[in-house]
Amino acid sequence: MEWVAVLQGYVDDFTSRPGAPELGIAVLVGVAAFTLVVALMLLAAGFADPVRRRLHGLTADEREPKAGDPGLVRVFAPVGDYLAPRDKAARSKVAKRLSHGGARKPNAVRVFYGAKLSLAVLLPVITIATLIPLARVPVSGMLLYVVAAAIAGFLIPTFWLEHRIKRRVRNLRRGLPDALDLLVVCTEAGLGLGAAIQRVARDLEVSHPELAEEWRLFGMQTRAGMDTRSALRDLEERNGVDDIRGLVTTLLQSMRFGTSIADTLRIYSTELRDKRTQAAEERAAKVGTKMLFPLVLFIFPSFFVVALGPPLLGALAALGAR
């Protein structure tokens, strides 16, 4: 943190000069206005360039936003071209993370990086426009606020993606045992694996919509002519959930050795329920340890004040009277 102190010293020395704060504010306003103009020009260039639109139309894994897409998607997608990685490996890694979060449109990578770049530019502009008329902040403080706003705007989409992945994984894990029970019933009734998954997808639309969407996509792939094993592998790759990965591995082994799919699903469903029960018992066992710190820091002091307060006051009054 020494470099921060040195930078703070230089900034304080500059601001102590006559007319320096006014000059610094004017420079920040000019930089903000210039950045906003450049961002608008880049956005307009992304919308208006026909060559860029044609190239993206010819690319296999990209597409231009359609009229039915949300407004933010149509705004962020052209901006993301300036920040999205050109390396296919890095781009594929980001696309895989977005797929785990449920964002599987072909332009999801462009929209993600467009949101990062747009927020990194817009938040500092909003910060400057808010601090100048409403608060008298020194130039050094305003500079730190602007840098912090730019960093926060750049990181907000990443935090949002991680939160969405965790929530989606939790919802998929919660709905998988129920889905397996329904699959067991359907397969024992005589349905094949593909038809059973399609039926379960219709039944889970209300209670577990994320899992129903995955089953529905699996059914669409099989109806389109994709092999069942390939569709199962794709189901495993686009989710990144350990329980689904284990289910896919179990089903592939059952298909390979010719064992009963209903028995396989029943055994795996029992294992999942035992695993969920063990996880609940583990959390319940940790409750006592987690409650120790609130008890010691908050509840015990209040209890001592209530229990020992009146006797102590009476003793002090008796000693004072003596």
Instruction: Give per-residue pLDDT as tens, 57-108.
Output: 544 344 444 444 555 666 677 777 777 788 888 888 888 888 888 888 888 8
Give the burial class of 77: count Cβ atoms within 10 A of its Cβ; 0-12 exposed, 13-18 middle, 19 or more buried: buried
Residue 4: predicted pLDDT:
54
Tokens encoding 285: 């066992």
Those residues whose C-beta lies under 8 Å from the C-beta of residue 209, and which sit 6 or more positions away, are none
Number of residues that this document lists for the chain: 322
**CA distance from start to end of the chain:** 59
What does the pLDDT look like over 156-196, one tens digit per residue? Answer: 999 999 999 999 988 888 888 888 888 888 888 888 888 88
Q: Identity (one letter) of the amino acid at 186? A: C
Query: CA of 105: how far to CAs of 46, 66, 71, 115, 219, in Å?
Result: 19, 11, 15, 15, 18
User: Cα–Cα distance between 122 and 129 in angstroms, integer?
Assistant: 10
Please give the pLDDT value at position 17: 63
Q: Does residue 10 surpass a pLDDT of 80? A: no
State pLDDT tens for residues 196-223: 888 888 888 888 888 888 888 888 888 8
Query: Which span out of 32-36, 116-120, 309-313 was modeled with the highest average pLDDT?
Result: 116-120
Mean pLDDT value across residues 8-25: 62
Compute, in degrees rounded to 10, the torsion defined by CA atoms 212, 214, 218, 221. Answer: 120
Q: State both tokens at 201.
A: 């997808």
Q: What percent of the chain has pLDDT over 70?
A: 75
The residue written with tokens 């900034």 in the block is 11
Highest mean pLDDT among 3-7, 27-31, 235-239: 235-239
Q: What is the pLDDT of residue 67?
A: 42
Helix ranges (H only) for the chain are 2-15, 20-48, 50-58, 71-80, 88-100, 108-134, 139-188, 193-203, 209-223, 228-237, 242-257, 261-294, 300-321
Q: What contacts 217, CB < 8 A, 6 or more positions away?
A: 235
With tokens 């912090």, the residue in question is 148
Residues 145-178 as b/e (b if ≥16 CB within 10 A, e otherwise) read bbeebbeebbeebeeebeeebeebbebbbebbbb
pLDDT of residue 63: 43
The model carries a pTM of: 0.67
CB 214 within 8 A of CB 247: no
Distance CA 182, CA 184 (A): 5
Q: Write out the two tokens for 275.
A: 């695993």
Residue range 237-255: average pLDDT? Answer: 86
Q: How far apart are CA 210 and CA 216, in angstroms?
A: 10
Average pLDDT score over the chain: 78
Q: Residues 290-312: pLDDT tens digits?
A: 888 888 888 888 888 888 888 88
Higher-confidence position of 132 and 272: 272
**pLDDT, greater one: 197 or 41:** 197
Rounded CA separation 211/174 (Å): 9
